[in-house]
């Protein structure tokens, strides 16, 4: 356990952020109502705000990004339909198999390309023929960012025509879409306009304690609201948490650039340390390999209030993520402690 007075630097994920004083004040002062009845003004404001920012007609607030993604998949696909998705995509690998378990939607995973995209030629080949032997391929699901990688705008702009030509709908898991927008120096709608639906998580880089929003057409969102209720995601005086989202939209988007700078700084410093291999750095994420003694390194860092992931993945990669609770000086402190251990 860490001491109560110890300053903690947690690089495991950008989900570990704590609400700021300003965010907490906004939450406490939020006007509320019963959102299941459609009467919470703060939730309505958040939904309308993100619908407008994304250039879509409507939106629905959900407790988590896993649920908002699932709402999108359920609204697009029926039982026995199929969606095409990345092999390591969050909706396929990290959301409990919800689309298959709860929606009887068959995933067709494909390997990501080096830039985080799905090769549309490979997507085309994966689309099933219209035949009784096959699931009906209905949806293409992409992720931006994925592993911190920002999908190229030119690639995104090719999605609408590809989907029209192949009778597919499209969904974007935009858990970190604002990282992508900031890194690309474009507004959100320049990305979202290329998709039929978009899931935006508020509890990652934007720093809220919970919440995600699904944006899409009025018809799609009407269907998604029904599924939200079915899945237990209908919340009553939810304006208390929606207010955190509004605060984040006003205060925490542009500052994502600071997280990207801090990730680059950490990557540059770690790459110079013997025994550590920098594999990749993109937006607020970096991936490293530690030649030996990672468990001991992690233990030593933990004793100094620095938290790294428990273990490397099967490929030996350790993912580190910067966020609004990690400053420039925190990065330098992390580097100092690693050098002290590795020397």
CA dist., res. 104 & res. 82, Å (int): 9
Given pLDDT bands bounded at 50, 70 and 90, which one contains residue 3?
A: low
Q: What is the pLDDT of residues 163-211, one digit of tens each?
A: 999 999 999 999 999 999 999 999 999 999 999 999 999 999 999 999 9
CA dist., res. 11 & res. 321, Å (int): 5
Q: At what angle do helices 256-270 and 328-342 cross, to 10 degrees?
A: 20
Q: Are 221 and 26 in contact (CB under 8 A)?
A: no
Q: Would you say residue 106 has pLDDT above 90? A: yes
What's the whole-number average pLDDT of the chain?
97
pLDDT given for residue 273 in this prediction: 96
Determine the average pLDDT of the residues in 227-242: 97
Q: What is the pTM of this model?
A: 0.96
- 106-110 contact pairs (CB < 8 A, 24+): 106/80, 106/81, 106/82, 106/135, 107/82, 107/83, 108/82, 108/83, 108/84, 108/137, 109/84, 109/85, 110/84, 110/85, 110/86
What domains are defined for the chain? Answer: 9-16+255-342 (3.90.1150.10), 31-251 (3.40.640.10)
Q: What is the pLDDT of residues 55-93, one digit of tens each?
A: 999 999 999 999 999 999 999 999 999 999 999 999 999
């Amino acid at each position: 356990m860490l001491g109560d007075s110890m300053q903690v630097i947690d690089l495991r994920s950008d989900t570990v952020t704590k609400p700021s004083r300003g965010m907490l004040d906004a939450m406490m002062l939020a006007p509320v109502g019963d959102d299941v009845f459609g009467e919470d003004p703060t939730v309505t404001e958040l939904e309308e705000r993100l619908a407008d920012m994304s250039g879509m007609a409507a939106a629905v607030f959900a407790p988590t990004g896993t649920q908002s993604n699932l709402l999108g998949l359920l609204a697009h696909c029926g039982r026995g339909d199929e969606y095409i998705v990345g092999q390591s995509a969050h909706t396929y690998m990290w959301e409990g198999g919800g689309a298959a378990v709860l929606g009887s939607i068959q995933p067709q995973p494909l390997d990501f390309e080096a830039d985080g995209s799905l090769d549309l030629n490979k997507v085309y080949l994966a689309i099933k023929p219209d035949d009784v032997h096959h699931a009906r391929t209905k949806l293409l699901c992409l992720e931006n960012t994925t592993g911190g990688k920002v999908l190229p705008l030119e690639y995104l702009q090719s999605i609408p025509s590809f989907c029209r030509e192949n009778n597919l709908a499209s969904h974007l898991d935009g858990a970190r879409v604002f990282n992508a927008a900031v890194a690309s120096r474009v507004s959100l709608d320049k990305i979202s306009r290329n998709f039929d639906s978009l899931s935006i998580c508020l509890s990652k880089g934007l720093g809220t304690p919970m919440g995600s929003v699904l944006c899409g057409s009025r018809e799609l969102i009407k269907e998604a609201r029904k599924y939200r209720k079915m899945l237990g995601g209908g919340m009553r005086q939810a304006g208390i948490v929606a207010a955190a989202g509004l605060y984040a939209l006003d205060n925490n988007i542009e500052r994502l650039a600071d997280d990207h700078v801090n990730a680059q700084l950490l990557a540059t410093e770690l790459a110079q340390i013997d025994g550590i291999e920098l594999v990749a750095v993109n937006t607020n994420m970096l991936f490293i390999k530690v030649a030996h003694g990672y468990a001991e390194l992690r233990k030593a860092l933990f004793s100094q209030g620095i938290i790294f992931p428990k273990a490397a993945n099967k490929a030996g990669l350790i993912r580190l993520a910067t966020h609004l609770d990690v400053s420039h000086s925190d990065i330098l402190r992390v580097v100092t402690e690693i050098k002290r251990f590795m020397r």
